[in-house]
Structures are given as structure tokens and as C-alpha cells.
Amino acid sequence: MLNKVQIIGRLTGDVEKIENADVYKFSVATNRTWKDKDGEKQEEVEFVNFTAFSKMGETIMQYMHKGEMHYFEGRLQTRMVENENGKRYYTGVVLEKFSFLPNGKKDGAVNKDTAKVSEADIEDLPI
């Protein structure tokens, strides 16, 4: 069996530390571009939620910031949360590895092109 996720994308916000825990949360945006049957360019942005623990989470919180593009690898995990409205399921990625991309910054700000990933951005990645 295999449960592996590899994503190159931009952080949608700064990393958040969960109070009273050694747990860190952040979200990454990626894009997909294609042409529809009429030849019109289409684009779709996907937002992926990550959870990181301990030293790995601390490092990401300290050195990665909103709008920067980096490489993330982990495993899918689904959690069930039960409250007065019933059961809800949330799927995210538990971070296992990451790499800083050399040209990860893009003005330090997020704009409409934030999630775009080019071939130049993924050169020399250990994937």
C-alpha cells in the first residue's frame, strides 16, 4: 500500500502553532491549467491543508511565509470530528518532508498568480 502526497505550491498564509501543543498548521495553494474542448484556457486552484509536528513545524514557521513556493511531502490523513451537528470528516496532509525552493519568494505577497508553478520552479528537486 502507498499513501504519499507530493506538492509544490505557495503558502496561503503564515504557519500557525496550535496553542499548548507541538502542532503546526498551514495551507498550500497549487494550480492546474488545461484547455477545454473549445481550446479555451482553464485554470483551477486547489488548497491543501497540512499538519506538521515538533522541530519540522518550528522550522517551517520560522523560515516559510505567505506567498512563498516550496516543496512538501507527506501522507493523507482523515480525521472525524463529532459535535452537536453530527460527524464531519476532514482530510489533510501530515508533513513528512519539505524542501525550500531557491526562488520560492514572489514579492512576499499573494496575488492572483500565487499558485502558479513553472517548470523552472521544480528544477533540482529531490523527487
Q: Which amino acid, residue 117?
A: V
Q: Count the Cβ atoms, other than its own, within 10 Å of residue 95.
A: 20
pTM: 0.76
Q: Is the pLDDT of residue 116 over 60?
A: no
CA distance 114 to 121: 13
pLDDT tens digits, one per residue of 50-108? 999 999 999 999 999 999 999 999 999 999 989 899 999 999 999 999 999 986 665 44
Sorted by where each starts, the structural domains of the chain and their CATH numbers stand as 5-114 (2.40.50.140)
Phi-psi group of 20: left, alpha or beta (phi > 0 → left; psi -120 to 50 → alpha; rest → beta): left
